[in-house]
A and B are shown apart, each in its own frame.
Chain A
């Protein structure tokens, strides 16, 4: 259905480009446990790609493979047309992949502003000496990156809590700050691990709007894991379905929804 080399145009008229990231036959083992079994899929430029599946299906492990936290036991990761050698997570971050976490992983001892500024660390190159004097490159860099960060803060509407220590914030805002930190890196690929877990309907709607806006305004490619099927089907352009470490479905939401394997995995199979 999809043209491999070129992109396609979605129903709402957004242009989806070529393949940004391709996972080829990824297998991930922890000792005897096989978390991911021979999975291949791709993520295209500008799309919102969802990974769904029941608990323990290996979704988060998949995200961890993409962000370099786990090295796959077998298989290849291709990013922007190049095969990625095994790397440390911070090197992956420098390639332009940012993520948020299922359990919020903000830096509790720092203010919101500092937390979001850490998202810019990959872009800041001033030497220790310049920073010690707070002159020259360090100062210029600080101002330039602050401007960028303020745009993100504006965009996500968290201006009022800029200087608040994150430990004082309610859950929903923490999730938003975490998104801001990931966005501040201006990632080429943004990974969201259950961005709406534990939120009420209103917070979920806010978060959905932000995700769509990010994709729309910055053209950021997004891969997300989410349990709320309504959200996933509404947001995403294409969906990968996993169960017990295997891929059981892949395609646009409507196609996936009617896939009998997917229905079985979610609703169970009648044994007679």
Chain B
């Protein structure tokens, strides 16, 4: 019924190489894009944008970034929060220093600056692996947060030590600050997520992606067949940090508006994004998005059930929420250690033959 390959013949390697080789899949992808770009902006309201859509889009970019590093190149990182902070502060400095330049350029430049910082902190990965590398990136996390707290230049010497995004508009529409319409902020983030997804997919299916995966699966063999480990790991850190930096810049400028670094980009943020990647599925772009959606939507749904349907007090629901999310994560990982992406793959395999499984 669905996902039929029969009769869908590929006559060139180009066709065989495309992201969605199965026609049904391809049309579903176009349909999702069309709804996201053409329908959602017209029906969006502030609640939906702030509670679900913006966090999903921004965490989606961050988890694509982390997935490039951890899922594709096999380098564990606990520094995601710190790198998001680099993106946020870079964006803040750029926004205040060059008010007339477009936000698109600021956000991309913030990603570029984070990429450089990411490569610097990625250098230890040439000598250390696994848990030890995780600890080294943890050091990056604490160091960066400390740096942005202690050096007043980063927050423009403001009295509160916070950074807050000045109002900026793109094509005459306000996109930062409390008065920005939700459809504009949504579209702005959606463009970045779409581009991040496409770029990450293109990189991971091509040469550089293969060298990342070779390093992940067996680094010694990878080097012997001609992968330069330095180049492979550093490009992974650069690309990953680029996306994470963009996510940090958007998180600060579009979503929160004002940021206190320890609170917004602390270690819990690193773990949150890591959970998204693990639950969604390591080594899968779709998994990154699914994981982000899962962890963004789950607390909202639990709150909805607790407060609005069962009528419990808000503070009890908030506590229960933590317990339930934690328990669900553990249950989920026991049942499907390879994440939502694997679940999705299994469903697709089944659908290919459904309803005649023999």
Contacts and interface: CB of A to CB of B under 8 A. Distances in A.
Interface of A: 67-69, 88-90, 92-94, 98-99, 101, 105-110, 114, 117-119, 121-122, 124, 126, 128, 131-134, 138-139, 141-143, 146-147, 150, 181-182, 185
Of all A-B residue pairs in the complex, the 9 with the closest CB atoms, nearest first, are A93-B226, A105-B221, A107-B217, A122-B226, A134-B202, A124-B207, A146-B13, A132-B199, A131-B206
Contacts of A138: 202, 206-207
Interface string B17-53: 1000000000000000000000000000000000000
Nearest to A95: B226
A-side binding surface: helix, strand, loop or mixed? helix
A143 B206 CA distance: 11
Max chain B Cβ within 10 angstroms of own Cβ: one of A117, A126, A132: A132
A69 B283 CA distance: 29
Contact of B206 (A119, A142, A147): A142
B225 A126 contact: no
B226 A132 contact: no
B308 interface: no
Contacts of A109: 213, 216-217, 283
B-side binding surface: helix, strand, loop or mixed? helix
B342 to A, nearest CB: 12
B203 A131 contact: yes
B72 to A, nearest CB: 9
Contacts of A128: 203, 208, 235, 239
A142 B218 CA distance: 23
A216 B224 CA distance: 25
B226 A146 contact: no
B226 A114 contact: no
A147 B13 contact: yes
A98 B223 CA distance: 11
A105 B224 CA distance: 10
Interface string B209-253: 011011011101111111111000001000100000000000000
A121 B221 CA distance: 13
B14 interface: yes
A209 to B, nearest CB: 24
A116 B203 CA distance: 18
Contacts of A94: 226
A92 B227 CA distance: 11
B14 A118 contact: no
Contacts of B203: 128, 131-132
A126 B227 CA distance: 14
Interface string B74-117: 00000000000000000000000000000000000000000000
Nearest to A94: B226
Max chain A Cβ within 10 angstroms of own Cβ: one of B221, B223, B226, B239: B226
B218 A141 contact: no
Contact of B210 (A69, A101, A118, A146): A118
A90 B223 contact: yes
A98 B225 contact: yes
Given A99-B224, A101-B221, 4 more contacts: A118-B222, A121-B225, A126-B207, A131-B203
A67 B202 contact: no
Contacts of A105: 218, 220-221, 224
A117 B210 contact: yes
Contacts of A185: 225-226
A259 B225 CA distance: 36
Contact of B228 (A90, A131, A132, A141): A90
A90 B228 CA distance: 6
Interface string B233-276: 00100010000000000000000000000000000000000000
